[in-house]
Amino acid sequence: MSTVRILIADDHEVVRRGVRTLLESQPGWVVSGEAATGREATEKVTQLKPDVVILDISMPDLNGLEATRHIVRNSPKTKVLLLTIHESERVMAEMLEAGALGYVLKSDAAESLVAAVRALRQGKPFFTCRMSEMVLKGYLKRGTRNGEVAMTPRDLSPRERAVVQLLVEGKRNKEIASALGISVRTAESHRANIMRKLELHSVTELVRYAIHNKIVEP
């Protein structure tokens, strides 16, 4: 069983203690460090290279948004999961754009945090249903406000739609190739064409597109 190394960053000790207890109840999961400020979080990520960092947004010294940007830039293999009290469309959009892969409210932690870490460990984004709806609403509002033409599934071929489904599920190019009976090079080509055709730049943006067009269900 492979070890999952996790860093917890929150300025409240009682929160860190509760999250640690919840996570370390899982076989093979280890909390390799804790941080009480955003800057301390970025420093410990650099030192410890955890698989997942669970990060609060409102922290002293360096806020969660800037900490996320720093972590994504300097430790790209570390997945960032936001655990916060802020149920805000604007805040969530900013964090996703900064590179976070998941967003869980503290009120949902008991039932969702373990599932969220599992998803991120596999390279899959994670949002609760409530947060997925918020992502979609924000996406639609921005499109309307900017006068953009909404993308539709007709922009993609049936094979590309299948590739989108697998990408959103967190599958890698080799796994996509195996699932669809194509070469790895062809899978890579499909992925590049999808991102270029839809003018997307990240898995998070692809998740929004897929939910909006009902290629996947939130």
**Same structural domain for residues 68 and 29?**
yes
Structure tokens at 133: 């709806």
Rounded to an integer, the average pLDDT of 84-107 is: 80
Q: What per-residue confidence (pLDDT) applies to 158? A: 74
Q: How many domains does the chain have?
A: 2
CATH of the domain at 39: 3.40.50.2300
Domain carrying residue 69: 4-126
d(CA 160, CA 144): 26
Q: In this predicted structure, which of 17-21, 31-35, 123-127, 200-204 has the lowest mean pLDDT?
A: 200-204
- Please give the residue that has the higher pLDDT: either 202 or 40: 40
**Same structural domain for residues 15 and 100?**
yes
**Same structural domain for residues 122 and 168?**
no
What tens digit of pLDDT does each residue of 111-154 get? 899 999 999 998 888 887 666 666 655 555 555 444 444 444 55
Q: What per-residue confidence (pLDDT) applies to 131? A: 64
Cβ-contact 16, 64 below 8 angstroms: no
Q: What per-residue confidence (pLDDT) applies to 10? A: 95
Going 167 to 172 to 173 to 179, the CA torsion angle's sign is negative
- Please give the residue that has the higher pLDDT: either 96 or 73: 73
Average per-residue pLDDT for the chain: 83
Burial class (CB within 10 angstroms; exposed 0-12, middle 13-18, buried 19+) of 147: exposed
Structure tokens at 62: 């360096």
Q: In this predicted structure, which of 95-99, 106-110, 151-155 has the lowest mean pLDDT?
A: 151-155
**Same structural domain for residues 15 and 112?**
yes
Decide which of 76, 111, 126 is a domain's last residue.
126
Q: What per-residue confidence (pLDDT) applies to 150? A: 45
What tens digit of pLDDT does each residue of 153-189 get? 556 777 888 888 888 777 888 988 988 889 999 999 9
d(CA 71, CA 62): 12
**Same structural domain for residues 89 and 155?**
no
What tens digit of pLDDT does each residue of 34-47 get? 999 999 999 999 99
CATH of the domain at 183: 1.10.10.10
> Which residue type occupies 47?
Q
Q: What per-residue confidence (pLDDT) applies to 19? A: 95
Q: What per-residue confidence (pLDDT) applies to 28? A: 94
